[in-house]
Amino acid sequence: MPGFELFGDLERKEVNEVLDTGVLMRYGFDAMRKDRWKAREMEAALADRMQTEHAQLVSSGTAALTIALASAGVGAGDEVIMPCFTFVASFESILALGAIPVLVDIDDTLTLDPDAVEKAITPNTKVIMPVHMCGSMADLNALRMICDKHGLLLLEDACQAIGGSYKGKPLGSIGDLGCFSFDYVKTITCGEGGAIITNNPEYKKNADHYSDHGHDHIGKDRGAETHPFLGYNFRISELNAAVGLAQLARLDEFLAIQKRNYTKIREAITDIPGVTFRRVPEGGEENYSFLSFFLEDFETAKAVQKALDESGVDGCMHWLDNNWHYIKKWEHLKNKTSLGKLPQEVIEKLPDYHQADFSASDHWMGRTLSLLIKIGWSEEELQSRAEKIRAVVQGVMA
Ligand X SMILES: *Cc1c(COP(=O)(O)O)cnc(C)c1O
Please say whether the beta carbons of 92 and 46 come within 8 A: no
Minimum CB separation of residue 380 from ligand X in Å reads 30
Q: How far apart are CA 255 and CA 259, in angstroms?
A: 6
Secondary structure (3-state) at 57: strand
User: Taking CB positions, which residue lies at the least distance from ligand X?
Assistant: 61
**306 contacts: CB under 8 Å, gap ≥ 6:** none
CB of 195 to ligand X, least distance (A): 10
Closer residue to ligand X, CB minimum distance, 140 or 269: 140
What HEC string does 196-246 produce? EEECCHHHHHHHHHHCECCCCCCCCCHHHCCCCCCCCECCCCHHHHHHHHH
The least distance separating ligand X from the CB of residue 70, rounded to whole angstroms, comes to: 16
CB nearer ligand X, residue 275 or residue 316: 316
Neighbours of 390 (CB within 10 A): 17
Residue (50 or 389) nearer to ligand X, CB = 50
Please name the residues in contact with 378: beta carbons below 8 A apart, sequence gap of 6 or more. none
CA 195 to chain centroid, in Å, comes to 10
Q: Which amino acid type is present at position 211?
A: S
In the complex, the smallest distance separating the C-beta of residue 268 from ligand X, rounded to whole angstroms, is 26
Catalytic machinery residues: 186
Beta bridge partners of 290: 372
Measure the CA–CA gap between 53 and 107, rounded to whole angstroms: 32
CA distance 369 to 198: 33
Closest to ligand X by CB, 236 vs 320, is: 236
- Residues with Cβ within 8 Å of residue 188, at least 6 apart in sequence: 3, 162, 182, 244, 247, 248, 250, 251, 254
Nearer to ligand X, 88 or 303 (CB): 88
Residue 326 CB, shortest distance to ligand X, in Å, is: 12
Distance CA(123)–CA(100), nearest Å, equals 13
Please, are residues 214 and 230 in contact by the beta-carbon 8 Å criterion? yes
Torsion angle of C-alpha atoms 264, 111, 194, 218, degrees rounded to 10? 140
| Residues found near ligand X in the complex (CB under 6 A) | 60-62, 86-87, 89-90, 131, 157, 159-160, 181, 183, 194
Q: At closest approach, how far in Å is the CB of 61 from ligand X?
A: 2
Compare residues 212 and 225 and give the one whose CB is closer to ligand X.
Answer: 212
Quote the least distance from Cβ 355 to ligand X, whole Å.
Answer: 25
Extended strands (E) in 31-175: 54-58, 79-83, 100-104, 125-128, 153-157, 165-166, 169-170
Q: In terms of CB distance, is 134 or 246 closer to ligand X?
A: 134
Residue closer to ligand X (CB basis): 89 or 301: 89
Handedness of CA 208, 214, 216, 220 (dihedral sign): negative
Nearest distance from residue 303's CB to ligand X, in Å? Answer: 27
